Amino acid sequence: MTTTHRFDTLAVHAGYEPDPATGAVMPPIHLATTFAQQGPGVHRGFEYARTDNPTRRLLERCLADLEGARFGLCFSSGCAALATVLHTLGPGDHVVCGDDVYGGTHRLLRRVMEPLGVGADFVDLTEPRRLREAMTPRTKMVWIESPTNPLLKVLDIAALAEIAHAAGARLGVDNTFATPALQRPLELGADLVLHSTTKYLNGHSDVVGGFVATNDEALAERLRFLQNAIGAVPSPFDCFLVLRGVRTLPVRMRRHCESATQLALWLAAHPAVERVHYPGLPSHPGHALACRQMRAPGGMISFVVRGGLPAARALLESTRLFTCAESLGGVESLIESPPLMTHGSIPAAERERVGIVDGLVRVSVGLEDVDDLRDDLAHALEVTSRGAR
């Protein structure tokens, strides 16, 4: 499937043509762990399923096409994908990371890579000049999310790429929140893009996976070696589920964005809400950049409820449609407390410095009727307000 097709068409067709033998319009699931060889070391393109698998290869081609990339690699989780990327670094190397990132990213850098000799500094990169100030001669990678998790900051990918490249460093972008339906970082100058396919790409909360894409052939070759050597690869059935989910990605993302925009506007006017973080709001500091860099503002919202942690806890215990759970990007709406859940592994002082305050709540807006979702939040906020009084 050529990448010249428009995105909605790519989502349906990228990576796969109907099977020539049977005409199947969905790919078969190849569960084999090993493949017969015509002679010692002579195979038909596959030898062992950790190294490569037909179903995984289809997904890698599909997602690479969606990101406009030459190369794509799938992993058993988003964390496995990032851990593999970080293993392209060595002792003495340095990473500049955005200060507002998924708790698992922070944990990997601080508690896994730093003991191995890879240093990291977490910097607010909403002003690109701060990256230039944070770079050292040892900096080999800049790692960002945009929009960020959980504060929905929007970072200037093109400007950060220019600064990173001038210093001889690579820029990696976690594109999980935006998806390639809304943003393609490689087109903005990033060297690699990462996804937790668990989230929007799969979209049904029934698989865990990760993905990395790049246009750099040498980097892709190194990552392919590490993918095989480390072995954190997804099962064929997991790959099939993501392939299935991707086919509806564009229509799902349109609905996520439409409903999230309506809910963010409503939350911003609610007396029990102190502030709302959502790039689609004109009041958001990154709104203008989001309009230039993204096709739509996404389906994630975070907001601060008045009354701190007790109020946030009461809110999460009072919703009926919004399920209190970690993760995001599924058809169902989820609600969580970053300080207690997804970002609980970050020390409290560091969370507070970044702005992950005790009253912060993050919601993943699903595909339910937006009026029902608004009614659910209204009920929960009323319960919370009564408790505060």
Overall average pLDDT of the 262-277 stretch: 98
* The predicted structure's pLDDT at residue 345: 87
At which residue do the structure tokens 């990760």 appear? 210
pLDDT bracket for residue 7 (50, 70, 90): very high
Asked if 174 is an active-site residue, the reply is: yes
- Choose the catalytic residue: 102, 200, 362, 376: 102
Strands 139-145, 119-123: pairing is unpaired
At which residue do the structure tokens 């609600």 appear? 335
* The predicted structure's pLDDT at residue 333: 98
Residue 80 has pLDDT above 80, yes or no: yes
At which residue do the structure tokens 């993918």 appear? 227
Q: Which CATH architecture has domain 7-246?
A: 3-Layer(aba) Sandwich (3.40)
- Choose the catalytic residue: 174, 238, 358, 376: 174
Asked if 153 is an active-site residue, the reply is: no
Q: What is the pLDDT of residues 283-340, one digit of tens each?
A: 999 999 999 999 999 999 999 999 999 999 999 999 999 999 999 999 999 999 999 9
* The predicted structure's pLDDT at residue 41: 84
What element of type H or E holds 354? helix 348-354
CATH 3.90.1150.10 boundaries in the chain: 250-388
In terms of Cα–Cα distance, which of 372, 86, 379, 363 is closest to 219?
86
* The predicted structure's pLDDT at residue 153: 98
CATH 3.40.640.10 boundaries in the chain: 7-246
For residue 147, which phi and psi values (nearest 5 degrees)?
A: -65, 155
Q: What is the pLDDT of residues 192-220, one digit of tens each?
A: 999 999 999 999 999 999 999 999 999 99
Residue 389 has pLDDT above 80, yes or no: no
pLDDT bracket for residue 16 (50, 70, 90): confident
pLDDT bracket for residue 21 (50, 70, 90): confident
Overall average pLDDT of the 77-81 stretch: 98
Which 3 state secondary structure label does DSSP give 270?
coil
Asked if 200 is an active-site residue, the reply is: no
Overall average pLDDT of the 2-22 stretch: 85
Contact 182, 154 (CB under 8 A): no
pLDDT bracket for residue 189 (50, 70, 90): very high
Overall average pLDDT of the 242-248 stretch: 97
If you average pLDDT over every residue of the chain, what do you get?
96
Class of domain 250-388: alpha beta
Residue 1 has pLDDT above 80, yes or no: no
Residue 388 has pLDDT above 80, yes or no: no
Q: What is the pLDDT of residues 28-70, one digit of tens each?
A: 999 999 999 989 988 888 999 999 999 999 999 999 999 999 9
- Choose the catalytic residue: 50, 70, 244, 247: 50
Q: What is the pLDDT of residues 106-159, one digit of tens each?
A: 999 999 999 999 999 999 999 999 999 999 999 999 999 999 999 999 999 999
* The predicted structure's pLDDT at residue 102: 95
Surface-to-core class of residue 119, CB atoms within 10 Å of its CB (0-12 exposed, 13-18 middle, 19+ buried): middle
The number of residues in the chain equals 389
- Answer whether 0.75 is exceeded by the pTM: yes
Q: How far is CA 257 from CA 133, 177, 178, 278, 348, in A?
A: 35, 11, 10, 11, 31
